[in-house]
Amino acid sequence: MKTTLVARLGLVIAAAILLAACGGRPDAPQSDRVVSLSGPVVEQRWNLLLMGTDERLSLPEPAWFRISSDGRVTGSDGCNEMMGRVRLGESQRIEFTEVATTRRACPQGENAARVTAMLETAYRYLIDHDRLVFFGPDQRVLGGWRKAN
């Protein structure tokens, strides 16, 4: 009986060691995984040009963002500092996640919130020369950005 108990305990320990050796967690959040992004939208500052196809926003300061090669996004919504993460996929697929802003009060706070909402809603992008256009999941134009010099 002792031999059977020792044998079972040995199997349990061996299984635990094997599982530990397998390493990575398949359910780890994307933010825990190392990513390396590249492409025309990465490591470039983009300044807000238009909301939708033709609306210019009145903001206390220029709205802008930058995507780093590690998938982090930094910038300003025109009032507050902004940070988050981004995933790029095939066919110009883009997804901003974990977008957060500071909470400064500003006179055009509604417009600043619209900038953040545009990023959170972006589904695809198109680059035409120095312009970056975001489209929603319904293929509607969300807004445009211009490459900073």
- What pLDDT, in 10s, does the model give residues 123-148? 999 999 999 999 999 999 999 999 99
Cβ atoms 147, 44 nearer than 8 A:
yes
Would the pTM count as exceeding 0.85? no
Query: What's the average model confidence in pLDDT over 23-32?
Result: 42
pLDDT band at 1 (very low <50, low <70, confident <90, very high): low
Domains and their CATH numbers in the chain: 34-147 (2.40.128.270)
The Cβ-side half-sphere exposure at 50, using a 13 Å CA radius, reads 13
Q: Could you tell me whether strands 124-128 and 45-51 are parallel, antiparallel, or unpaired per DSSP bridges? A: unpaired
What's the rounded Cα separation, in Å, for the pair 146 and 46? 5
Rounded to the nearest 5°, which phi and psi values hold at 19?
A: -65, -40
Band of pLDDT at residue 79, cut at 50, 70 and 90: very high
Q: 28-65: b or e for each residue (b if 16 or more CB lie within 10 Å)? A: eeeeeeeeebeeebbebebbbbbbeeeeebebbeebbb
State the pLDDT at residue 98.
Answer: 96
pLDDT of residue 106: 87
**pLDDT (mean) for 47-66:** 94
pLDDT digits (tens, 9 = 90+) for 57-74: 989 899 999 999 999 999
- Give mean pLDDT, residues 81-89: 96
DSSP 22-64: T---TT--GGGS-----STTBT-EEEEEEETTTBPP--SS--E
H helix or E strand, kind and range, residue 128: strand 124-128
pLDDT of residue 11: 40
